[in-house]
Amino acid sequence: MTVTNPILCAIDTPDPGAAGKLVRAVQGEVGGIKLGLEFFGANGPQGVRLAAAGESSIFLDLKLHDIPNTVAGAVRSVASLEPMLLTIHTSGGPAMMRAAAEAATEAAQGRRRMKLMGVTVLTSLDGSDLEAVGQRGPVEDHVRRLAGLAQKSGLDGVICSPMEVAKLRADCGRDFLLVVPGIRPAGSAVGDQKRVMTPREAIDAGADYLVIGRPITEAQDPAAAARAIRAELP
Ligand code: C5P
């Protein structure tokens, strides 16, 4: 997929004023804004409308996971926000993913249809965590199985770690969207991220979009930080 600006800036704060200020600071310098549960829980859909006013590419990271009927309802409920991307858990199973995909198509009604992105295995889980919940075998196999299931069930792509992107690109083909967090420009603080790639490395490995938070949001000049990252990309 051809993406003009692949940088999605993660705004991780419950404070609507701070979020709005950051959105306005980076607007035009990034390809979109990611707002997640921390912001949504505090401010709801109206908070998203206000903070992201004028931003046409919103990545709503709500990681939905429930029975198919409920997830389809939640997809319809957020459709009025016209997100570009919305996350759901692939472990909710094929019926849940299909119901979500159908709801996204129905809810579009002439508007741009939101793209549904699958969360496979949270990067906070390792092999022993998966085993504790009854899942045997290497984490990577589970990620690849869930990504394949997401593709078959009508999702538009998955969120994946930098270490998985090349394999998933090979498995899922050119048209399946791969959105990659855990990105650190050379020389920037790694923070709590354990396995990181530079923006250029992740794009070269096959990422369509890069989720980048603190290297931009905690910079003295967030717009300049985003511009510098963009300048490194092909
Ligand atoms: O500040 P930083 O660049 O680490 O932010 C990355 C964003 O991507 C955060 O919103 C984080 O929750 C999210 N994320 C991640 N790793 C994952 C999934 C999501 O860092 N595996």
Q: Which CATH architecture has domain 7-231?
A: Alpha-Beta Barrel (3.20)
The pLDDT profile of the chain, 234 residues, written as one tens digit per residue, is 778 999 999 999 999 999 999 999 999 999 999 999 999 999 999 999 999 998 889 999 999 999 999 999 999 999 999 999 999 999 999 999 999 999 999 999 888 999 999 999 998 888 899 999 999 989 999 999 999 999 999 999 999 999 999 999 999 999 999 999 999 998 888 888 877 899 999 999 999 999 999 999 999 999 999 999 999 998
Tell me how far the alpha carbon of residue 119 lies from the centroid of ligand 1, in angstroms.
Answer: 12
Give domain limits for the chain. Answer: 7-231
Please list, in sequence order, all residues whose beta carbon lies within 8 angstroms of the beta carbon of residue 18, skipping any fewer than 6 positions away.
Answer: none
Tell me the two tokens of residue 92. 């909710």
CB-CB contact of 69 with 102 (8 Å): no
Which class for 6: exposed (0-12), middle (13-18), buried (19 or more C-beta within 10 A)?
Answer: buried
pLDDT of residue 93: 98
Tell me the two tokens of residue 36. 């997640």
Decide: helix, strand or coil at residue 211.
Answer: strand
Tell me how far the alpha carbon of residue 110 lies from the centroid of ligand 1, in angstroms.
Answer: 32
C-beta of 87 in contact with ligand 1 (< 6 A): no
Nearest to 164 by CA among 138, 185, 186, 188: 138
Residue 187: left (phi > 0), alpha (psi -120 to 50), or beta? left
The pTM assigned to this predicted structure is: 0.96
Report the amino acid identity of residue 232. E
Nearest to 84 by CA among 168, 4, 25, 161: 4
CB-CB contact of 79 with 108 (8 Å): yes
Per-residue model confidence as pLDDT tens digits over 50-68: 999 988 899 999 999 999 9
pLDDT of residue 195: 79
C-alpha torsion sign, points 72, 77, 82, 86: negative
C-beta of 12 in contact with ligand 1 (< 6 A): yes
Residue 225's φ and ψ, nearest 5 degrees, are -65, -45
The total of other beta-carbon atoms located within 10 Å of residue 228's CB is 16
Q: State the first-to-last Cα distance of the chain, in angstroms, to the nearest integer.
A: 14
Tell me how far the alpha carbon of residue 10 lies from the centroid of ligand 1, in angstroms.
Answer: 7
Rg (CA), the chain: 17
